[in-house]
Structure 1
Amino acid sequence: MAKQKGKADGETLFGAYYQDIYQERWESLKVALIKDKVPITYTDGLIQPYYLDEASVLAAKLLGVERGETVLDMCAAPGGKTLVLASSLHGDGLLVSNDRSSARRARLKQVVKDHLSTEDQRCVQITAHDATRWSLHEQNRYDKILLDAPCSSERHVLHDPKALAMWSPSRPKRLAITQFAMLAAALEAVKKGGYILYSTCSINPMENEQVVEKLFEKRVGRFTIMESTQVGSEERKYGSLILPDRGEGRGPLYFCLIRRDV
């Protein structure tokens, strides 16, 4: 009985929370989130295809990685975006692909091994650092940084009865604190004139544009928000969001392109 009550409470809280954000749109968005994703086949520069959400490819390519650059993928597992970034280097440059979780890092290593040529694998260095503390050991090093931050992943929650039963409004609040710490660390780790792409698969403004807004409050005058609209994306105060109900099933994916100025 207690388990059933917990499940009902989680579902009720979750629905009311996102209903408040999306108003009359919530029901259609919820239906789109519950539908199974239809991944695309990504093959550019790979030795075998990798299947992932098209929105993830669009976001990773928005970073504009070029041959010879030094790039950081701060939260890289399972590895789809790392493949997009690595293939953009064309065997010349360095991609540091990081994930703190040993299990996720093992999967990342396997994805890299299975999909990249030997030449491209030489450009990839897999690490296990705490992304929130990155700037303590590296500053002003990277030309480009992808921060695909851990997030609420509401699409996953809706597909997982246990996760839905355990959901509470405190979860996005905790995640937003971690996300900001990672973004602030990325701002120190990127070179002046370099770029950060901040992204999540959350639909929650607290984890998306409000994290960037906090960066404006805490690091005023140090960066510029760049144009980041893509096909099917919706503009937010800062950055853009692809939602599956209006993005032909793609997403959800929030992304914001940031240039460090000072």
Structure 2
Amino acid sequence: MLRLGPVSLAAVSLRTMSSQVTRKLEGRVAIVTASTEGIGYAIADRLARDGAKVMVSSRKQANVDKAVESLQKQHGTESVSGVICHVGKDEDRKRLIKETLERFGMLHILVSNAAVNPTFGPTLETPESAWDKIFDINIKSAAFLVKEAYPHLKKTGGNVIFVSSIGGFTPLNLLGPYSISKTALFGLTKVLADELAPDNIRVNCLAPGIIKTKFSSALWQNEAAAAEFVNQIPIKRLGEPDDCSGAVSFLSSDDAKYMTGETIVVSGGMKSRL
């Protein structure tokens, strides 16, 4: 008979506790938009690691296929699926919800991560078409996606997490309209938190700082610009996508069951007050 000494028993106990902690989203189903790279991919990966079934999405089939293949290798074919979704298109939003329900049967978590920024420059020189695109995708589409998900989140007592930005608190240089749209997400979070609380749906927000992704490359690929940002960060480094994922997992879990209408800032200490 195999006998385990105190150290071995402690190790087994720790492994068991660790397994329980990392599966805190077991049995739940999540949608993450714009999740084939960057912050969205890191969030999808973390939610799957913590036990959720995850539907990833983006505008291009090739990107969806690549992300699904990578995530399925890590978490299993039963845990991850994907679908094309341009969040600015009503038919795509509907299909995203429909295919999630067909694949996984229910919906508990909606992470609205999709955003655009088609222009850089002074705010008053931003063309009207860019303003329209920014607010159409970053705000209006986020609200309408929640509208599509609402009947299903109501059944499960679900969660909505909007991904905003530190720029919503402190406007980023030459990104005025984008920063304004991210401030508006704080307002959308507050409004929907109040309206959906009677249905046991929580609505919270994540505000990342300067995270090294393809989307934000214009802010950090230039060494001088990156150094200037690092000077504003007490932790003295730029963020990585995975730095954001744990906060979203927390907001999606019962650990945050008494939180709604709040914004968690993940910025390395960059100033974050309106």
Superposition TM-score, scaled by structure 1 size? 0.49
Higher strand share: 1
Higher helix share: 2
Superposition TM-score, scaled by structure 2 size? 0.47
Q: Greater relative contact order (Cα 8 A, min sep 6): structure 1 or 2?
A: 1
